[in-house]
């Protein structure tokens, strides 16, 4: 009888849940999170988590986002649950979610884990310290949503693209690279650090750090950058922002500027740890090794 029901359900386009028993996962903080059924109402906190959820084809399950999410356009009409000043537990609860995905940034985890646990709302914390962790996060979300084959499909496609890049850059001299990601009011500059997903992207694209020692410190002086004199200078922002930067006294003398190897690069590709990071790796590799990607 059960076989007959399953056959009839498939003919009608109704797919029985493959998750008959509760699913238990461990998140990045080694917390145990239990799901009685695949979540249907998801609130991904931060653009990176939203992009992972939507890349898996789950946009219709997203019921809320945070204020700095800009992509994809199809989910920008969802209610907001917070932004720069913090996150609203009440706004989250009003959406009746059965999954929150957060990253420990801007106090999101600190503000949301305890109240969500008390209310019985599953909340999963993910980390994105490397490109590998981005892929692991995609797999984790797919597992929770009971769409493991789709997750493997997405991951496999991204891994294939990354492997092609690394095949092309293998054995080539690695240019020294400094990527400026921001500027502070005190005159210091933020740079891409070793031990981060952005730093990992630089390495996977065939570059090497032109300013060693940034594992613990992302803020450096302009003088330190000028002294390092990298082969390639990257500015995460607009072309005008780069032009303003290298127009300052002393910057035009850098080798990267004189050799026309100073480039503006996409912030969304390199500062949001999600599927578009792999676009960023491809674009970086073409800048570092143009001869390998010449058509």
Cβ atoms of 28 and 126 closer than 8 Å: yes
Omega before 72 within 30 of 0, i.e. cis: yes
Which residues, in sequence order, are bridge partners of residue 265? 236
Nearest Cα to Cα of residue 232 among 168, 173, 170, 171: 173
Confidence at residue 14, expressed as pLDDT on a 0 to 100 scale: 47
Q: Retrieve residue 128's tokens.
A: 């994105």
CA atoms 237, 240, 242, 244: torsion sign: negative
Verdict on whether the full-model pTM lies above 0.85: yes
So what's the architecture of 171-293 in CATH? 3-Layer(aba) Sandwich (3.40)
Q: Which fold has domain 17-146?
A: Rossmann fold (3.40.50)
Would you give the distance in Å from CA 201 to the centre of its chain? 11
pLDDT in tens, 93-118: 999 999 999 998 778 888 999 999 99
> Any idea where the domains of the chain sit in the sequence?
17-146, 171-293
Q: Retrieve residue 96's tokens.
A: 């009746």
pLDDT band at residue 1 using 50, 70 and 90 as cut-offs: very low
Residue 165 burial (10 A CB sphere; 0-12, 13-18, 19+): buried
Nearest Cα to Cα of residue 64 among 85, 84, 46, 48: 46
Pairing verdict, β 232-236 and 176-183: parallel
Confidence at residue 8, expressed as pLDDT on a 0 to 100 scale: 43
pLDDT in tens, 241-292: 999 999 999 999 999 999 999 999 999 999 999 999 999 999 999 999 999 9
Confidence at residue 36, expressed as pLDDT on a 0 to 100 scale: 96
Decide if 17-146 and 171-293 have a common fold. Answer: yes
């Amino acid at each position: 009888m059960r076989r007959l029901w399953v056959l009839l359900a498939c003919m009608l386009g109704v797919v029985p849940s493959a998750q008959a028993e509760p699913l238990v996962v461990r998140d990045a903080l080694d917390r145990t999170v239990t799901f009685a059924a695949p979540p249907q109402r998801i609130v991904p906190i931060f653009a990176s988590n939203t992009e992972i959820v939507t890349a898996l084809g789950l946009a219709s399950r997203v019921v809320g986002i945070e204020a700095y999410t800009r992509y994809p356009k199809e989910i920008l009409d969802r209610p907001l649950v917070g932004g720069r000043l913090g996150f609203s537990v009440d706004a989250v609860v009003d959406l009746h979610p059965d999954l929150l995905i957060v990253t420990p940034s801007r106090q999101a985890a600190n503000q949301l884990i305890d109240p969500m646990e008390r209310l019985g709302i599953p909340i999963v914390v993910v980390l994105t310290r490397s490109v590998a962790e981005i892929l692991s996060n995609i797999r984790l979300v797919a597992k929770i949503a009971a769409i493991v084959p789709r997750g493997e499909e997405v991951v496999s496609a991204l891994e294939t693209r990354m492997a092609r890049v690394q095949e092309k850059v293998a054995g080539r001299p690695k240019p020294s690279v400094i990527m400026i990601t921001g500027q502070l009011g005190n005159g210091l500059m933020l740079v891409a650090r070793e031990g981060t997903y952005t730093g990992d992207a630089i390495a996977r694209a065939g570059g090497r750090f032109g300013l060693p020692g940034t594992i613990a410190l992302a803020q450096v002086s302009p003088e330190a950058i000028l002294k390092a004199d990298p082969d390639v200078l990257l500015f995460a922002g607009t072309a005008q922002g780069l032009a303003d930067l290298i127009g300052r006294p002393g910057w035009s003398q850098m080798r990267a500027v004189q050799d026309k190897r100073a480039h503006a690069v996409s912030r969304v590709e390199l500062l949001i740890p999600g599927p578009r990071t792999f676009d960023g790796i491809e674009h970086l590799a073409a800048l570092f090794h143009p001869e390998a990607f010449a058509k």
